[in-house]
């Protein structure tokens, strides 16, 4: 039995690691140069920037058990802080007992751990899949055809799985055409004092979340600046502005932060990234099973979007598929 998994994010690598553990041959195809997907860490010469998920939570008992296991291995740690809530006049601390976890030392450390024993073909973008007699074939964007797979598992966001699987299966009809909101992510390396207690801020309709990356457990310190921040612009704002925005994001983000922190940070470096598919749009949670399986064709679609749109959902979706198809 040989399984092709498309995508090396949390869902794809959870599935691949589980299949590997069960002795099933698995090949992962990932368009990027490394693992993580939306658990992304960008390495700049001035710092390691977690530009996607900033932390994750574990609500189900099943994921809590897995998280504790990863914690024992040192791949994750709790990020303990009191979140602040932004308002026009500044910030207010908010009571909150949510347990938050981060990768150690970077967010994508978890997927790097999962990827360690797997056969992963990076920089391989799959542009289509096709069933021929008893096997699946995958087409790459460089016109190569990869043959001989018994199962194919797509882990792409619903919107991208739709184009990948067009004509391949009845599953297509279940995939929503639009479910994710975009997000502009902005990293700022700053010089100047900021209140030590402020590590995470729930924002407003311009900036919805701020992490002080430099306050995370076991972060590597950057040189030449005091702090590293990650700002996520709100979904509505990011949608209105779009990828081609003419707004100076660094200027907008820095002014927003300075106003809320009531300080005068200087920006020494910045980096921006547009996520076309970030979180699930409000009111758009899907009413579907955690994994979509076409058993006769041996095709499955999994991903965080099927489990609520967060990292935990990616793990649970993958485990649901493994139990539905391979046990
Ligand atoms: C800005 C932002 C903030 C977030 N904040 C949080 C948070 O605080 N907490 C939380 O729990 N979650 C958060 N999330 C959501 C969380 O990161 C995702 O839900 C989860 O990581 C998605 O995992 P996945 O495996 O389903 O998909 P992905 O991580 O998207 O994995 C899919 C993979 O497929 C690859 N791929 C795509 N197309 C192709 C192709 N054609 N061929 C080959 N490979 C392909 C992609 O490169 C990617 O690696 C956030 C996401 C973003 C973007």
* Helices marked H in the chain: 10-21, 61-73, 109-115, 158-164, 235-241, 249-261, 311-325
Q: Does residue 244 sit in helix, strand or coil?
A: coil
Residue 7 CA, closest ligand 1 atom number: 34
Residue 211 CB contacts under 8 Å (≥ 6 apart), including other chains: 50, 54, 55, 199, 200, 229, 230
Q: Does residue 275 sit in helix, strand or coil?
A: strand
> How deeply is 151 buried, as exposed, middle or buried, from its count of CB atoms within 10 A (0-12, 13-18, 19+)?
buried
Same domain, 270 and 294: no
Pocket lining: 238 vs ligand 1, CB cutoff 6 Å: no
Same domain, 268 and 192: yes
Residue 286's pLDDT band (cuts 50, 70, 90) = confident
Is residue 57 in some structural domain? no
- The protein residue with its alpha carbon nearest to ligand 1, atom 35, reads 7
HSE value, Cβ hemisphere, 13 Å, CA-based, for 312: 16
Is residue 215 in some structural domain? yes
**How many Å lie between the centroid of ligand 1 and the Cα of residue 310?**
9
Is residue 94 in some structural domain? yes
Is residue 56 in some structural domain? no
Q: Which residue has the tokens 């009531």?
A: 262
Closest CA to 104 of 43, 61, 50: 50
Same domain, 129 and 254: no
Same domain, 257 and 211: yes
Pocket lining: 110 vs ligand 1, CB cutoff 6 Å: no
Is residue 283 in some structural domain? no
Q: Write down the pLDDT at residue 281.
A: 85
The enclosing domain of 10 has a CATH number of 3.50.50.60
Report residue 102 as tokens. 């981060």
* Helices marked H in 116-206: 158-164
Residue 113 CB contacts under 8 Å (≥ 6 apart), including other chains: 70, 73, 75
Give the model confidence (pLDDT) of 29-83 as tens digits: 999 999 999 999 999 999 999 999 999 999 999 999 999 999 999 999 999 999 9
Pocket lining: 7 vs ligand 1, CB cutoff 6 Å: yes
Is residue 167 in some structural domain? yes
Closest CA to 189 of 30, 42, 24: 42
Same domain, 186 and 102: yes
Ligand 1 mutation target, pool 106, 234, 304, most atoms within 8 A of CB = 304
**Taking all residues of the chain, what is their mean pLDDT, rounded to a whole number?**
95
Pocket lining: 208 vs ligand 1, CB cutoff 6 Å: no
Residue 312 CA, closest ligand 1 atom number: 11
CA distance 59 to 177: 28
Same domain, 270 and 199: yes
Same domain, 271 and 225: yes
The enclosing domain of 253 has a CATH number of 3.90.660.10
In the chain the first and final C-alpha atoms are separated, in Å, by 13
Give the model confidence (pLDDT) of 119-137 as tens digits: 999 999 999 999 998 999 9
Q: Which residue has the tokens 């920089």?
A: 123
Specify whether the CB–CB gap between 118 and 28 falls below 8 A: yes
Pocket lining: 155 vs ligand 1, CB cutoff 6 Å: yes
Pocket lining: 56 vs ligand 1, CB cutoff 6 Å: yes
Q: What is the pTM of this model?
A: 0.97
Pocket lining: 314 vs ligand 1, CB cutoff 6 Å: yes
Same domain, 132 and 265: no
CA distance 156 to 314: 11
Report residue 148 as tokens. 């001989």
CA distance 12 to 122: 13
Is residue 163 in some structural domain? yes
Pocket lining: 309 vs ligand 1, CB cutoff 6 Å: yes
Q: Taking 80 as the threshold, does the pLDDT of residue 309 lie above it?
A: yes
Q: Write down the pLDDT at residue 283.
A: 67
Q: Taking 90 as the threshold, does the pLDDT of residue 167 lie above it?
A: no
Same domain, 171 and 125: yes
Give the model confidence (pLDDT) of 4-22 as tens digits: 999 999 999 999 999 999 9
Q: What is the total count of domains within the chain?
A: 2
Please give the helix or strand (H or E) that residue 178 lies within, else none: none
Same domain, 89 and 210: yes
Q: Write down the pLDDT at residue 168.
A: 73
Q: Which domain holds residue 196?
A: 66-106+181-275
Q: Taking 70 as the threshold, does the pLDDT of residue 284 lie above it?
A: no
CA distance 296 to 116: 32
Same domain, 83 and 142: no
Pocket lining: 311 vs ligand 1, CB cutoff 6 Å: yes
Specify whether the CB–CB gap between 272 and 189 falls below 8 A: no
Give the model confidence (pLDDT) of 236-254 as tens digits: 999 999 999 999 999 999 9
Is residue 212 in some structural domain? yes
Same domain, 224 and 300: no
């Amino acid at each position: 039995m040989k399984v092709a998994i498309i995508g090396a994010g949390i869902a794809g690598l959870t599935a691949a690691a589980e299949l590997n553990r069960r002795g099933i041959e698995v090949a992962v195809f990932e368009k990027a140069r490394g693992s993580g997907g939306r658990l992304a860490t960008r390495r700049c010469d001035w710092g390691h920037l977690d530009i996607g998920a900033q932390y994750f939570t574990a609500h189900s008992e099943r994921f809590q058990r897995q998280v504790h296991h990863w914690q024992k291995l040192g791949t994750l740690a709790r990020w303990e802080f009191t979140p602040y809530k932004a308002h026009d006049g500044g910030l207010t601390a908010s009571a909150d007992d949510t347990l938050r976890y981060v990768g150690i030392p970077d967010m994508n450390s978890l997927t790097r751990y999962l990827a360690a024993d797997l056969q992963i073909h990076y920089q391989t973008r799959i542009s289509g899949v096709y069933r021929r007699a008893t096997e699946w074939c995958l087409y790459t964007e460089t016109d190569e055809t990869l043959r001989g797979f018994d199962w194919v598992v797509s882990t792409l966001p619903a919107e991208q799985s739709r184009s990948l699987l067009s004509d391949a299966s009845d599953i297509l009809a279940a995939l929503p055409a639009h479910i994710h909101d975009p997000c502009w992510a902005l990293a700022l390396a700053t010089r100047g004092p900021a209140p030590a207690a402020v590590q995470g801020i729930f924002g407003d309709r311009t900036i919805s979340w701020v992490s002080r990356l430099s306050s995370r457990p076991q972060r590597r310190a950057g040189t030449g600046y005091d702090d590293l921040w990650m700002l996520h612009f709100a979904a509505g704002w990011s949608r209105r502005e779009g990828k081609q925005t003419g707004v100076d994001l660094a200027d907008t983000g820095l002014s927003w932060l300075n106003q809320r922190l009531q300080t005068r940070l200087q920006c020494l470096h910045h980096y921006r990234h547009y996520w076309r598919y970030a979180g699930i749009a409000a009111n758009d949670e899907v009413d579907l099973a955690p994994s979509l399986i076409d058993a006769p064709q041996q095709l499955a679609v999994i991903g965080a979007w099927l489990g609520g749109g967060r990292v935990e959902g990616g793990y649970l979706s993958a485990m649901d598929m493994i139990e539905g198809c391979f046990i």
